[in-house]
Chains A and B, each alone.
Chain A
Amino acid sequence: MEIVTQKFKHCDLISVKGRVDSYTAPKLGEAIELINNDGRYKIVLDLSDLEFMSSAGFRTMLMGQRTCKRYNRGEIVLACLPKRTQEALDLTGFTTLFKIFPDQVSAVGNF
Chain B
Amino acid sequence: MRTAIFQANFKNLDSIREYVARAAKDAGFDEAGVYAIQLAADEASSNIIEHAYKTEDEGEIECTCSMEGNNLVLVFRDHGISYELDSIPEPNLTGKLNKRKIGGLGLYLIRHLMDEVHYESFDEAGNVLTLKKRIAG
Q: Which residues of A contact B (CB under 8 A)?
A: 19, 21-23, 52, 54-56, 58-59, 62-63, 65-66, 69, 84, 87-88, 91-93, 96-97
Question: What is the size category of the interface that chain B forms with chain A?
Answer: 20 to 34
B105:A22 contact, CB within 8 angstroms: no
B102:A59 contact, CB within 8 angstroms: yes
Closest-by-CB residue of A relative to B13 is A21
**Chain B interface mostly helix, strand, loop or mixed?**
helix
The CA of A92 and the CA of B105, in the complex, are separated in Å by: 7
How many A-B pairs with Cβ below 8 Å? Answer: 66
Q: Which of A55, A65, A87 gathers the greatest number of chain B CB atoms within 10 Å?
A: A55
- Checking B13, B97, B98, B109 against A88 with a beta-carbon cut-off of 8 angstroms, the contacting residue is B109
B83 to chain A, nearest CB (A): 17
The CA of A88 and the CA of B14, in the complex, are separated in Å by: 18
A54:B46 contact, CB within 8 angstroms: yes
Closest-by-CB residue of A relative to B94 is A93
- Checking A55, A63, A66, A69 against B105 with a beta-carbon cut-off of 8 angstroms, the contacting residue is A55
Answer yes or no: B42 CB below 8 A from chain A CBs. yes
Q: Which residues of A contact B11 (CB under 8 A)?
A: 23
The CA of A69 and the CA of B98, in the complex, are separated in Å by: 10
B17:A52 contact, CB within 8 angstroms: yes
Q: Which residues of A contact B91 (CB under 8 A)?
A: 92
B10:A55 contact, CB within 8 angstroms: no
Q: Which residues of A contact B108 (CB under 8 A)?
A: 91-92
Q: Which residues of B contact A66 (CB under 8 A)?
A: 97-98
A-B contact pairs, 10 of them (CB 8 A): A21-B46, A22-B13, A22-B42, A22-B50, A54-B106, A56-B46, A66-B97, A91-B112, A92-B93, A93-B93
Q: Which of A65, A92, A97 gathers the greatest number of chain B CB atoms within 10 Å?
A: A92
Q: Which residues of A contact B32 (CB under 8 A)?
A: 84, 87
